Copies of this chain bind each other. A is one copy, B any other.
Amino acid sequence: MRTSSSYQLPATSVVALAGGVGGAKLAHGLQMALPAGALTVLVNTADDFRLWGLYISPDLDTVMYTLAGVANPETGWGVAGDTWQAMEMLGRYGRDAWFRLGDRDLATHILRTQLLAEGRTLSEATRDLATSLGVENSILPMCDQAVQTLVQTPDGTLDFQDYFVRRRHSDRVTGITFRGIEEATPGAETISALDSASVIIFCPSNPYVSIAPILAVPGMRDAIARSGAIKVAVSPIVGGTALKGPASDMMSALGHEVSPVGVAGMYKGLVDGIIIDELDRELAPRIEAMGMAVSTTNTIMKSDGDRVELARHALGFCESLARRTEVAR
C-alpha cells in the first residue's frame, strides 16, 4: 500500500485489470475520468484461441473496441453496426460457424494474425491496432505467451470457448486450469505500469476466468503486491448473481458464497478495499470484518454516464484510502 507523502489525486497512473464486457465498461469509465495516457488496462488473454487460422483475443478486442468507441452498444462485444456476410458464406461452405465473427471484427483478427505471423508480440500487435483506432491509453495483454483456460466439467475438460460459447456455459464447473501459465511472464511494460501506478483497480470481471488468469501469470501477484498503489476491486456480483456470464454459477459450483463477500474472500490480501453495489449494502460489515475497506455505490453500468460515475467513485475511494494510509502513518 502506498505511503509516500507525495501521493496526489487525480491519479496520474492507473492500472485496471480487466476481462470482457464488464471490465471494458469500467476501463472506459476510467478513460473518460482520467487525462489521456493515464490509464493502462491489463487484459486477460487466457480466452484467446485460433479459429479458421485466425488469432482471436476476445477480451483484448472487447477492451479495445470499447476504449475506441466502436463497440457494439447492444452486446458490449463486437463492433457497432457489424454484419455477418463472411459467416454466412462459411455456412455455405458447410462450416459450422458456432463462434460468430462479424465482418468488421474479422479485419481485427486478420490484421492481428498477420502481425503475429510477421513476428510481432501480442503486446506489439495490440499497441499497433489500438493506436490505429485512436486509443490514447495503453492496452496490455497479461502476457505474450499462449495461455489457455481449460474448464473441468462432469463431461470432461473443455476449451474455454467451447464451454462458454458453444455450450453456452451450461456445464457444471468442477475446476479451472490455465494451460501454459507456468511459461508466461508479465511484459516489461506491465511491470513498469504496476510499479509506477498510484491506483490499481480490479474491474468487475469474472474472478475465475478473467482476473484469476492475470494474477496467475508468474510474477504478477508479486508485482501487484510490491506496487505502492492503492488497490481496490469492484465486485462483479450484485444482489446474489453476476450481471453477465457464468461467474455466479462458478462461485456456487466451486464452493464460494455467491456474494461480494465471496468476491472479497478471493481478493483478500491483494486489495485494500472493495466496491460493492448499493443492493449489497448490508454485506459491508462482513467484508470489513475481513480487514478490507468497503464502499457502496451503483455498480450497474447501463450508460456512459454510469461508467464514468463508477470510475470517479472508484478513484475517490482510492483517494480516501490513500489519505487514511497517510493518517495511519
- Bound CA span A303–B108, Å: 39
| Contacting residues of chain A (78-107) with chain B, CB-CB under 8 angstroms | 79, 82-83, 85-90, 92-95, 102-107
Of B87, B103, B132, the residue contacting A94 (CB under 8 A) is B132
- Is the CB of A266 closer than 8 A to any CB of chain B? no
| Contacting residues of chain A (39-92) with chain B, CB-CB under 8 angstroms | 52-54, 70, 79, 82-83, 85-90, 92
- Is the CB of A290 closer than 8 A to any CB of chain B? no
Q: Is chain A's binding surface mostly helix, strand, loop or mixed?
A: helix
Collect the chain B residues with CB atoms within 8 Å of residue A108's CB: 89, 93
Are B107 and A90 in contact, CB atoms less than 8 angstroms apart?
A: yes
Query: From residue A77, how far is it (CB to closest CB) to chain B in Å?
Result: 15
Are B79 and A82 in contact, CB atoms less than 8 angstroms apart?
A: no
Q: Which residue of B lies closest to A68 (CB)?
A: B92
Q: Which residue of B lies closest to A114 (CB)?
A: B53
Q: Which residue of B lies closest to A104 (CB)?
A: B89
Collect the chain B residues with CB atoms within 8 Å of residue A114's CB: 52-53
- Is the CB of A36 closer than 8 A to any CB of chain B? no
Are A110 and B79 in contact, CB atoms less than 8 angstroms apart?
A: no
Are B107 and A89 in contact, CB atoms less than 8 angstroms apart?
A: yes
Are B85 and A111 in contact, CB atoms less than 8 angstroms apart?
A: no
- Is the CB of A157 closer than 8 A to any CB of chain B? no
- Is the CB of A129 closer than 8 A to any CB of chain B? yes
Are B86 and A104 in contact, CB atoms less than 8 angstroms apart?
A: yes
- Bound CA span A85–B93, Å: 20
Q: Which residue of B lies closest to A108 (CB)?
A: B89
Query: From residue A251, how far is it (CB to closest CB) to chain B in Å?
Result: 37
Pairs A–B under 8 Å by Cβ, sample size 7: A52-B110, A86-B103, A86-B110, A88-B104, A93-B108, A93-B133, A95-B111
A interface residues (Cβ-Cβ under 8 A, vs B): 52-54, 70, 79, 82-83, 85-90, 92-95, 102-108, 110-111, 113-114, 117, 129, 132-133
Known: A93-B107, A106-B106. 10 other contacts (CB 8 A): A52-B114, A83-B103, A85-B85, A85-B102, A86-B103, A86-B106, A86-B107, A89-B108, A92-B133, A103-B103
Q: Which 9 A-B pairs have the closest CB atoms?
A: A89-B107, A85-B103, A53-B114, A103-B103, A89-B104, A93-B132, A86-B107, A90-B107, A94-B132
